[in-house]
């Protein structure tokens, strides 16, 4: 479960979104590190709640950009966000509630999804917004 190294290859070219991606990447890394260090549940739970809140905030910001630019891919993109919130974030919150154990597999899935989504769907969004002159 190595940390995600933030690098320019992860930029989608929209400064607001890139900043949010970098911030959430840092929070996910913090969670993985705390888990690897065996930090207690209170510490992990606090980070998880921060990740869940910020993921929601970030997805809302992307949705706003998509709506403003009439992105034809919006529904498929939002379905991916909902899937992530329901599966990965939902699972993390179940751990906070005491209904699930946190495992390395859950964290691997979380980090894999996050990087895959940024480099796939979100990069496509960046290209679309750039093409519409809406990349600032
Ligand atoms: Fe994103
Ligand atoms: Fe996205």
Per-10-residue mean pLDDT for the chain, 136 residues long? 90 97 98 97 98 98 97 98 97 97 96 97 98 90
In terms of C-beta density within 10 A (0-12 exposed, 13-18 middle, 19 or more buried), how is residue 95 classed?
Answer: middle
CB within 5 A of ion ligand 2: which residues?
Answer: 62, 122
Compute, in angstroms, the gap from residue 12 CA to the centroid of ligand 1: 9
Q: Distance from the CA of 108 to the center of ligand 2, in angstroms?
A: 18
Distance of CA 117 to the CA centre of its chain: 8
pLDDT of residue 135: 87
> Residue ranges per domain, the chain?
22-131
Q: What is the pLDDT of residue 136?
A: 85
Structure confidence at residue 2 (pLDDT): 77
- Ligand 1 center–CA 11 separation, angstroms: 10
Residues near ion ligand 1 (CB < 5 Å) are 122
Residue whose C-alpha is closest to residue 24's, from 52, 64, 45, 63: 52
| Nearest-5° Cα angle at 45, 109 to 18 | 55
Q: Determine the topology of domain 22-131 in CATH.
A: 1.20.120
For residue 39, the model assigns a pLDDT of 98
């Amino acid at each position: 479960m190595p940390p995600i190294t933030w690098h320019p290859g992860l930029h989608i070219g929209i400064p607001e979104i890139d900043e949010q991606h970098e911030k959430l990447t840092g929070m996910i890394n913090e969670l993985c590190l705390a888990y690897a260090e065996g930090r207690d549940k209170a510490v992990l739970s606090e980070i998880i709640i921060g990740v869940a809140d910020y993921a929601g905030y970030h997805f809302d910001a992307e949705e706003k950009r998509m709506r403003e630019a009439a992105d034809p891919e919006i529904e498929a993109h939002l379905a991916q966000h909902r899937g992530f919130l329901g599966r990965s974030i939902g699972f993390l919150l179940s751990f906070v509630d005491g209904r699930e154990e946190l495992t390395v597999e859950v964290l691997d899935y979380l980090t894999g999804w996050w990087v895959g989504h940024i480099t796939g769907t979100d990069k496509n969004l960046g290209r679309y917004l750039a093409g519409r002159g809406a990349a600032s």
